[in-house]
Chains A and B, each alone.
Chain A
Amino acid sequence: MFTRRPYSDIVRSHNTTLEEVLETLADAKESLITDAMRAEIGKESSEWTCEVDKLAVRMFARSVGHQDPVYYDEAAAKAAGYRSLPCPPGYLGTSVFNPATSDSTFGGRRGEGPGPQPSRPLTRILNGGTDIEYMDDICAGDVLTAKSHLAQLEERTGSIGDMLISTNKTVYTNQNGKVVAISTGTGIRY
Chain B
Amino acid sequence: MAVKWDEVSEGMELPTLKKNCSTQQLVQWAAGSGDFYQIHYDKDFAMGTGLSNIIVHGALKNAFLGQLVHDWIGNQGRIKKYGCSYRGMDYPNEDIICKGIVRKKYQEGAEKLVDLEVWTENPKGQKTTPGTATVVLN
Contact = CB atoms under 8 A, between A and B. Distances in A.
Given A64-B64, A106-B36, A129 B19 contact: no
A48 interface: no
A65 B19 contact: yes
Interface string B11-37: 000000001000001001101111111
Given A63-B25, A89-B67, A68 B31 contact: no
Interface stretch (A2-10, A29-37, A130-138): A130-138
B35 A107 contact: yes
Chain B interface extent, by class: 35 or more
A16 interface: no
Contacts of B80: 133-134
Given A89-B67, A133-B80, A134-B81, A63 B29 contact: yes
A90 B19 CA distance: 17
Contact of A126 (B19, B66, B81, B86): B86
A75 interface: no
Contacts of A106: 34-37
B58 A133 contact: no
Given A64-B60, A108-B34, A132 B82 contact: yes
Contacts of B25: 63, 65
B45 to A, nearest CB: 11
Contact of A130 (B28, B62, B67, B69): B62
Nearest to B21: A65
A94 interface: yes
B70 A130 contact: no
Nearest to A104: B36
A66, A90, A95, A127: which has the most chain B beta carbons within 10 Å?
A90
B63 interface: yes
Given A68-B70, A89-B69, A90-B62, A134 B79 contact: yes
Given A66-B67, A68-B71, A88-B63, A129 B83 contact: yes
Interface in A17-68: 56, 59-68
A61 B25 CA distance: 11
A88 B29 CA distance: 13
Contacts of B58: 127, 129-130
A126 B55 CA distance: 13
Interface string B97-125: 00000000000000000000000000000
Interface of A: 56, 59-68, 70, 80-82, 88-91, 94-95, 104-108, 126-134, 137, 184, 186
Interface of B: 19, 25, 28-29, 31-38, 58-60, 62-67, 69-71, 75, 78-86, 131
Nearest 4 A/B pairs, CB to CB? A89-B66, A131-B83, A107-B34, A63-B32
Given A59-B28, A105-B35, A107-B36, 10 more contacts: A60-B63, A91-B33, A105-B38, A106-B36, A108-B34, A126-B86, A127-B86, A129-B84, A130-B59, A184-B83
